[in-house]
Amino acid sequence: MKKNTTTMSNIELDRKTERFIARCRANGLKVTPQRIAIYRGLVDTDEHPSAEMLHEKVKKVFPGISLDTVNRTLLTLSEIGAASVVEGSGDARRFDGDSEKHQHFKCVQCKRIVDFHHKAFDRIKVPVGIARRFTILSKSVYLEGICDLCRRR
Residue numbers at the binding site for its own copies (CB under 8 A): 39, 42-43, 45-46, 48-52, 54, 74, 77-78, 81-99, 104-108, 113-116, 118, 120-121, 124-127, 129-130, 133-148, 151
Residues 47-86 interacting with DNA (rule: CB under 7 A): 50-52, 62, 64-69, 71-73, 75-76
Q: Minimal distance in Å, beta carbon 41 to DNA?
A: 13
The SS3 assignment for 9 reads coil
Contact (CB, 8 A) for 105 and 113:
yes
**Which residue's CB is nearer to DNA, number 76 or number 103?**
76
Q: Which residues contact 116 (CB under 8 A, 6 or more apart)?
A: 102, 103, 104, 105
What residue 31 binds from its own copies, DNA, none (CB within 5 to 8 A, per partner kind)? DNA
What residue 10 binds from its own copies, DNA, none (CB within 5 to 8 A, per partner kind)? none
Using CA atoms, how far residue 140 sits from 18, 88, 98, 117, in Å, is: 35, 15, 15, 12
